[in-house]
Amino acid sequence: MKCSKCGGTAVINMRQHRLRLCGRHFLEWFTAMTQRTIEKYKMFIPEDKVLVAVSGGKDSLALWDVLLQLGYQAEGMYIGLGIDEEIGYSNKSLEMCNKFVEEHHPDALLHVVDVGAEYGQSIPQLARTTQRGRGRPCAVCGLVKRHIMNSVARDGGFTAIATGHNLDDEVAVLMQNTLRWQSGYLARQAPVLEERDGLARKAKPFVRIYEREAAAFVLLRGIDYIYDECPFARGSTTNYYKELLNQLELNSPGTKQQFYLQFLRARDSGQVTFARPRESELHPCVRCGQPTTAGELCAFCRLWE
Amino acid sequence: MKCSKCGGTAVINMRQHRLRLCGRHFLEWFTAMTQRTIEKYKMFIPEDKVLVAVSGGKDSLALWDVLLQLGYQAEGMYIGLGIDEEIGYSNKSLEMCNKFVEEHHPDALLHVVDVGAEYGQSIPQLARTTQRGRGRPCAVCGLVKRHIMNSVARDGGFTAIATGHNLDDEVAVLMQNTLRWQSGYLARQAPVLEERDGLARKAKPFVRIYEREAAAFVLLRGIDYIYDECPFARGSTTNYYKELLNQLELNSPGTKQQFYLQFLRARDSGQVTFARPRESELHPCVRCGQPTTAGELCAFCRLWE
């Protein structure tokens, strides 16, 4: 298999792009693709202060690495969830983030918020004491992470939050929403969510990157990461749809990319329209000050009542 | 497994309806479901003269049987495609239609049009002499069948054409169109297509019936049918999506039904809107008189040039 650019030995075949690349040209391509995505969807500019949500996994570390290489003002934020589950998940993932900084970007800034130390309960503890999420901590975890991201971004003067969601993540969510024709979710799913009522803009610069490409990227860059996925995500619906979509992709390369990008195009051009639920009025939570549609306390602050 | 209605031995478990039924109650349910679908989507009324497209397969024979049982004026139409492929496909399928009439509805009328005898070339022959369909006769076959159905309906004074498309058929097409967000197709896919410019209304009374339910119905009714599918349909994209959707259904019963019915509901209620391509002007073909958007000759008549 030969590199489409230089004829050298290719390390990856991206059938959806009809492109085979050697290590050097793949790294170039990956970085350029991320930059093109940032520009195309107007995610942020070099003047923005960007907070990158890092988990210690391949996608978020690859994202932080690329953003720093591209010269963005990108600081990392790690949220300690306190998940052990006999594999020391959270400890290991923080280690990977620290190792990444030391080995690759010693000048980079990593903000660490430990949920247990900061608020008194880890995610698994909190999940046991609240009603949310039918026995799984995922709903609580999402809520807590969003709150902390928004609050670190606000306090640190960040104008954008970047997350490592890749095309596989986005397309699995899209499939889930489409199978139920959930117009509200389908109206909102996007590569970038604009700033609203003081909540920082949220961007996903990897929406055109397949998961396997992020894996190849960190391998070639020598970035170590946590291989385990979160123990609570095992057997999740999202993972089920990912497998299904990989089957489709295998049968017809480019299916995932086409499904997602054509969705964005059809919606942007008005070929397909999804009704948006009326946006609720937001007001600041009396305790934390973050905008909320709930009563006096936002959903996050109510968790700790 | 007990019948949800009478406590007798159930023969089928329809998990999407949370319903297990014995033979007698399943046959009752199946007929009532078809009648409800006909009414819900305003497909036809007892005063309509309905032409049922029968292929000798389980779905179309089940449909004809149910429509006759429900007292509709339903005549059958069989189109001889001249497909042999070493299994005598077309001959056997005509036999099954004749056998159905003899054994179940001796007074029913079956119109038979043999493509080869009527127009000089069978479908496989025609497919070899035209450009359409990239080596597969399926595109030509669809075009020819639509033309003949319309013309038999027009000449016989039928006000509606009914086909045996079941929920599995519809949902496979829906998946295919959705994965590409083909708004034109998504705008038009429907249980009933209204009469337009002299083309009879087309209705699919089985859109809420799973394929396995149609199979159970013919088995319980003692209707013999052709088990082989059309040899040219093997390995088709539609079949691929059917398998995929069956996987989804197995993982989460009701997925197929929800995907399809929620699509119809979301579109009817305006939650989701698909842009319709502007309808082209129709004029009568100078040879056959059927409405066409093409030049002087319609696509069917051009096949034989």
Using one digit for the tens of pLDDT, what is the confidence trace for B230-241? 888 888 889 999
Among B174, B227, B147, residue whose Cα is nearest residue B139 = B147
Inter-chain residue contact B186 with A255, CB threshold 8 Å: no
Name residue B271's amino acid.
Answer: Q
Task: Out of B259, B273, B274, name the one closest to residue A179 (CB).
Answer: B259
Query: Is residue A134's pLDDT more than 70?
Result: no
Mean pLDDT of A177-204: 94
B279, exposed or middle or buried, with CB in 10 Å at 0-12, 13-18, 19+? exposed
> pLDDT, tens digit, for every residue of A62-77?
999 999 999 999 999 9
Write the burial class of residue A19 (CB in 10 Å: 0-12 exposed, 13-18 middle, 19+ buried).
middle
A60-to-A161, A236, A291 alpha-carbon distances in Å: 12, 20, 26
Residue B101 pLDDT level (bands cut at 50, 70, 90): very high
**In chain A, whose CA is at the least distance from the CA of B248?**
A244
B238 part of contact set with chain A, CB < 8 Å: no
Residues of chain B with C-beta less than 8 angstroms from the C-beta of A181? 259, 262-263, 265-266, 271-272
How, if at all, do strands B12-14 and B19-21 pair?
Answer: antiparallel
Around Cβ B42, how many Cβ atoms within 10 Å? Answer: 12
Rounded to a whole number of angstroms, the distance from the CA of A133 to the nearest CA of chain B is 19
Burial class, A106, CB count within 10 angstroms (exposed 0-12 / middle 13-18 / buried 19+): exposed
Predicted-assembly ipTM surpassing the 0.95 threshold = no
Q: Which residue in A55, A300, A256 sits closest to A163, CA to CA? A: A55
Spatial contact of B303 and B133, defined as CB atoms under 8 Å apart? no
Residue B263, chain A, CB below 8 Å: the answer is yes
Q: For a pLDDT cut of 90, what percent of chain B falls above it?
A: 81
Q: Is A275 on the interface with B (CB under 8 A)?
A: yes
Query: Which structure tokens are listed for B195?
Result: 């009469």
Which residues in chain A (136-195) have CB-CB distances under 8 A to chain B? 178-181, 183, 186
pTM of the model: 0.93
Distance in angstroms (rounded) separating the CA atoms of residues B298 and B98: 32
Tell the burial category of A181 from Cβ atoms under 10 Å away from its Cβ (0-12, 13-18, 19+): buried
Residue B280's pLDDT is: 80
Q: How far apart are CA A278 and CA A280, in angstroms?
A: 6
- Other beta carbons within 10 Å of A234: 10
Sequence-ordered list of residues with C-beta below 8 angstroms from that of A190, at least 6 positions apart, any chain: A41, A264
- Which residue bears the tokens 């209304």? B201
Task: Report whether B71 contacts B201 (CB < 8 A).
Answer: no
Rounded to 10 deg, the angle between the A255-268 and B167-179 helix axes is: 80
**pLDDT tens digit sequence for B193-245:** 998 888 899 999 999 999 999 999 999 999 999 998 888 888 888 999 999 99
Contact indicator for A210, A256 with CB cutoff of 8 Å? yes
Give B49's strand partners: B73
Map residue B76 onto helix, strand or coil.
Answer: strand
Per the CB < 8 Å rule, is A272 touching B270? no
